[in-house]
Amino acid sequence: MSELEKLYKEMVDQEDELTGFKAGVCFCGEEGYHSECLESLRPIVRRDKQAESYFETLGYASVDVANGGFKKAELSLFSQLEFDPFENGYKSKDVLENRDTYYFPIVCVGCCGYLVTKEDLEVISFGSYVGRIEHIWAYYEGAQLASLGKDRNNSLIIKEVRDAKRTLKVLKSFLDNNYVNSIEPEFRSLPIVLDNVDIYFGIRDLFDARMKNWFEFEIV
């Protein structure tokens, strides 16, 4: 059995608390195993793997809970939360750290965790539109990830377009379609600077674009 088949079998065989589907019911809602449902998982699994291998390059490892710097980061985060994370099952030892940041896997409705910077203990809260890896990627790209409702204005500089069709599709995922069509002719005279854009809802597609090299861009 392939890894994908194993994963699909597990999904069907387990009861799904979220949907209420009993064991033996496929995620499509019908009983049994279905080859087309299995196939539909393939691109999702492939994408997850790519995200995981990107994440590995960032060097995250389990945090040293006894470290004074970590204690400060934890306090800085907790002072901004309106709930007690310990009541949500938070454990300090679950935090990951790399050279620059701590990642707190405190996940609740509308939030897939928090990043706290080591240098100045800045707290960055993640939404839930995309997963933690894409959020962390966006942080490292320089995107503003302030909470919903706050200003999240960035500039996106398009430096080189390798796949125009896919580039347009990515831009249309978070920018007005007419606006994107109007800038398409400028692909012939790069770079283009798109000022004052909220890239938040484009993170997923921009991440894919970066991983697959569809176009070269910078977020400032």
CA-based end-to-end distance of the chain? 46
Contacts of 91 (CB under 8 A, 6+ apart): none
Query: Partners of 16 in the beta sheet?
Result: 21
Asked if 11 interacts with Zn ion (CB under 5 A), we say: no
Is 181 strand, coil or helix?
A: helix
**Contact positions with Zn ion (CB under 5 A) in 162-181:** none
Q: Residue 29 or residue 68: which is nearer to Zn ion going by CB? A: 29
> CB of residue 21 vs Zn ion: minimum separation in angstroms?
10
Verify binding: residue 192, Zn ion, rule CB under 5 A: no
| Region 144-163 residues binding Zn ion, contact defined as CB under 5 A | none
Q: Residue 34 CB, nearest distance to Zn ion (Å)?
A: 4
How far is Cα 167 from Cα 158, in angstroms, rounded to an integer? Answer: 10
Q: Identify which of residues 39 and 160 has a Cβ nearer to Zn ion in the complex.
A: 39
Least Cα distance to 97 among 57, 56, 60 occurs for: 60
Residue 75 within binding range of Zn ion, rule CB under 5 A: no
Closer CB to Zn ion, 28 or 146, in the complex: 28
Part in contact with Zn ion (CB under 5 A); list of ranges 18-26, 116-124, 198-206, 212-220: 18-26
Neighbours of 153 (CB within 10 A): 12
Q: Which is nearer to Zn ion, 37 or 197 (CB)?
A: 37
Cα dihedral value 29, 32, 38, 44, nearest 10:
40
Task: Give 189: exposed, middle or buried? Use CB within 10 Å, 0-12, 13-18, 19+.
Answer: exposed
Site track for Zn ion across 23-62, x = CB under 5 A: ---x-x-----x--x-------------------------
Task: Determine the length of the chain.
Answer: 220
Nearest to 32, CA basis, from 21, 17, 41, 43: 21
Span near Zn ion by CB under 5 A; candidates 20-28, 100-108, 136-144, 199-207: 20-28
**Least gap, CB of 16 to Zn ion (angstroms):** 12
Which CB atom, from 26 or from 175, has the smaller least distance to Zn ion?
A: 26
Q: Which residues bind Zn ion (CB under 5 A)?
A: 26, 28, 34, 37
